[in-house]
Structure 1
């Protein structure tokens, strides 16, 4: 056996593997014997089929299996031995023709194109500046959340005249094309929350009503979808296709939401006994919760902007044509050339970012130990208990819960990835200059969506 490579510039190489008959013959003979022992053919007892028949009927496919196995072992071993930094996996060469006579096998020669990762370095120091974007928590956001909490903990009371925030209880009565009541038609008692009616004309019809008043409305304009329409009219799901005309809605009751007072009772319900004692403390607490809520999004955006900035500065080159061919040959689902051209820029950017991240982890000497992940998971579990107002278990029980959570391989890998990312961003903060910018929530969303 002989294996050599021929460098094709800095980003690819061609690996040539030569197999002599002596290299594969012992494996082939063993495969033939094993197959003969297992195979069942009519007219022969198991294990007694003549070897000549085995070779004639199955020899070529068994040879192909053994050759493929040897090629995979050989090229993977060679890549490890030569410490080649490979992108994707080797693929049959496009420009070199293999030497292979499967009918009269002797010497085989195979050629593989191998995409190589580019060489580059990343320098991060005091002169390197990255921008950290955070969400500014506005008075408007806090006002709206306080209003939501007061509504959530409020109570329904009777009202004389309906307003745009009220709920109506009444009877839906089916009408014909002339808005006359259909004899024996649909009649069902249900509710309408005026606040959630999107059609302005319909909403106007429902405001200013008293008990025993009525409005003629299109039921589809007061329901969210066909399922909701069926529930509202008392029909079986999927049985609403025949609904073509208006309904009369006879108002029986009007319910208005009376918001909860900003007092200690509300503070205790929202934050726990005695945790907040004034409106000012409530506003401050909500501000902290908003900041916590957006912290993970800010971190993700911070990493994205670091990668974009480094990618723009480094201008890393990839063996694009070879990678495109690799995708065409190995993708699980067939890819058309048009699809490939459309999606390749995103694929190549993701690959460059992964290379940059790996280089940063290496150069900044970021490592994650098992015990660190365990403590991280314990912290996540403890926060979940706190979030639901449950006492955090003792350390030993917390550790047991964390160990169980780490048993699934996919979950464990994600936890390691999270820890690597957190430690990488910490290392970057220690090395580089970080400039902060604050955006409104709307500006932040728009900035994040730019990609």
Structure 2
């Protein structure tokens, strides 16, 4: 056997695998001998079929099967030993004709190679690092929501501006059936709020999801749909009104503070606002980090220039499905995938050059922090190390969870690296201003 690589250009090459009879003859003979022992052919006793008959009936299919096994094993071993940085998978040359009556065969495979390029983090441009503050308006709004949340409901016959409605969001096509209870101030789109005014129990309000909330992630809570489906969701959902209530706001006193936070933790409106501010700004920091990571990524993609073996990748994409896609659809799919591929290459280069790795201990520690936060939400403020470790072990046994957690840990490591090496402008904003910066609204 002889394997050679012919470089076409910096991003494309052809691997040629020449196979001789010595590479496959033993396997073919063994397979045919096994057929001879078990073959049931008319006119011959089982196990007594002449090898010439076996060869005539099974020889060529067995030859093709065993040569293909040798070919695939050899190609895999060669790619591993040469440590080629491939994009996609090798594609057999379609214009080659194989004469199976010969003893020696030659097979060509096209490959696409990852480009060489440099990622200069210090050259990243126009990235802003946001510090999001919980301003007085937000704190007052939150205090008002708490007063409503713990207030008294008084049934009403029709909707007015400060009332709450309970009912169900539905969209049959998208499988949405989501009970909800809310005040009209939840909507960023004020036209939606106005559409409820004057409605009665049993009425249905049609609602457009695009721009419905100040943050698309709220669609996850109200429509009970997944994270991957909410960004830019543009459908119509119906809300059927089942109950209408006015709210007699709760009085803030020690009894209410103890009910919400536990005995003696909060004792005044000022302390309540301080607690709201602290919790909110922790969450805001996470959102700021995510935007920072996204903005650096976009800047790196825009400013890190390199070519891709696009013709090869389109050809490879065409072979991926059971049914080949037409050329116009391949062009469309490649246009969608190109930015993601560039991001993967840049991210991989950044990780390699800065020796960013995820250890098992990193994953365990990250998972433990998440579990403790979740347990605290359900009142378990001081779980034992053994209890947390047991839950961590169960989570780590789920490969999908491990993959998701690994992405989170690597994201944190990337943010830490970018904080250190990327030049940024600093800007302090409230949450509403941040949303406008994020969504351009």
What interval of TM-score do these two structures reach, taking the shorter chain for normalisation? 0.7 to 0.9
Task: Please give the TM-score of this superposition, normalised by the length of structure 2.
Answer: 0.76
Q: Distance in 2 between matches of 1:255 and 1:67?
A: 76
Instruction: Report if the CA contact (8 A) 1:99-1:110 is conserved.
Output: no
| Runs of 5+ unmatched residues, structure 1 | 170-191, 207-216, 225-252
Q: Which has the larger radius of gyration?
A: 1
SS in 1 for 2:6: strand
Q: Which residue of 1 aligns with 2:146?
A: 149
Aligned match of 1:330: 320
Which stretches in structure 2 are left out of the alignment for 5+ residues? 167-180, 186-190, 208-242
Cα shift at 1:324: 0.7
Name the SS of the counterpart of 2:121 in structure 1. coil
Report deviation, 1:332: 5.8
SS state at 1:14 partner: strand
Distance 2:14 2:165 in 1: 76
Change (3 A) 1:290 1:2: same
TM normalised by structure 1 equals: 0.74
Once the two structures are superposed, residues 96-154 of structure 1 have per-residue CA deviations (whole angstroms, 9 ceiling, x without a partner) of x424113x132211111100001112233599884323544343333332222221211
Alignment of 1:361-372 (within 5 A): 361-372=351-362
1:405 match: 395
Q: Conserved in 2, the CA contact under 8 Å of 1:373 and 1:415?
A: yes
- Measured in 1, the distance between the counterparts of 2:422 and 2:205 equals 55
1:122 pairs with one of 102, 119, 122: 119
Q: Distance in 1 between matches of 2:371 and 2:138?
A: 29
Aligned to 2:212: none
- Give the whole-Å Cα distance in 1 for the aligned partners of 2:304 and 2:51: 61
Alignment partners' CA distance in 2, 1:312 and 1:164? 46
Aligned residues: 386
Return 3-12 or 279-288, whichever deviates more.
279-288
For the 8 Å contact 2:12–2:110, the answer to whether it is kept is yes
Q: CA deviation at 1:162?
A: 8.3
User: Offset at 1:2?
Assistant: 0.9
Contact persistence 2:13–2:112 (CA under 8 A):
yes
Residue equivalent to 1:20: 20
Report SS of the residue matched to 1:307.
Answer: helix
| Pairing 1:258–2:256 present | no
Q: Which deviations, in whole Å up to 9, do the C-alpha atoms of 1:277-320 show, x marking residues without a partner?
A: 22122222222222233443332322221122122222121111
Q: Which moved more, 1:431-440 or 1:1-10?
A: 431-440
Matches of residues 100-139 of structure 1 in structure 2 within 5 Å? 100-102=98-100, 104-125=101-122, 130-139=127-136
1:33-80 CA-to-partner distances (Å, cap 9, x unmatched) read 344556566777765554444433333332222222222221222122
Cα 1:98–1:270 change in 2 (3 A) is: same
SS in 1 for 2:103: coil
Report what 2:306 is aligned to: 316
Post-superposition Cα deviations, 1:357-388, rounded to whole Å, max 9, x if no partner, equal: 11111111112221221121111111111122
Aligned to 1:436: 426
State the alpha-carbon separation in 2 of the partners of residues 372 and 5 from structure 1: 40
Q: Is the 8 A contact 1:198 1:221 kept in 2?
A: no
C-alpha separation in 2, matches of 1:336 and 1:32: 41
Q: Which residue of 2 aligns with 1:422?
A: 412
RMSD: 3.6
Give the 3 Å change call, closer, same or farther, for CA 377–264 of structure 1 in structure 2. same
Residues 263 and 59 from structure 1, CA distance in 2 versus in 1: closer, same or farther, beyond 3 angstroms?
farther
**Does the Cα contact within 8 Å between 1:194 and 1:203 map onto a contact in 2?**
no
For 2:195 and 2:374, locate their aligned partners in 1 and report how far apart those are by CA, in whole Å: 45
Q: What CA distance in whole angstroms lies between the structure 2 residues aligned with 1:398 and 1:434?
A: 38
* Partners of 1:19 and 1:391 in 2: CA distance: 67
1:31 aligned partner: 31
SS of residue paired to 1:8: strand
2: CA distance, partners of 1:128 / 1:158: 56
Is contact 1:98–1:108 with CA below 8 Å preserved after alignment? no
The CA distance in 2 between the partners of 1:272 and 1:46, in whole Å, is 84
For 1:201 and 1:306, locate their aligned partners in 2 and report how far apart those are by CA, in whole Å: 40
- Report the counterpart of residue 259 of structure 2 in structure 1: 269
Deviation at 1:437, TM superposition (A): 2.9
1:161/1:355 CA distance change after superposition, 3 Å: closer
For the 8 Å contact 1:13–1:114, the answer to whether it is kept is yes
**Structure 1 contact 166–255 (Cα < 8 Å) conserved:** yes
Q: Is the 8 A contact 2:117 2:305 kept in 1?
A: no
- Measure, in 2, the Cα distance between the counterparts of 1:128 and 1:136: 25
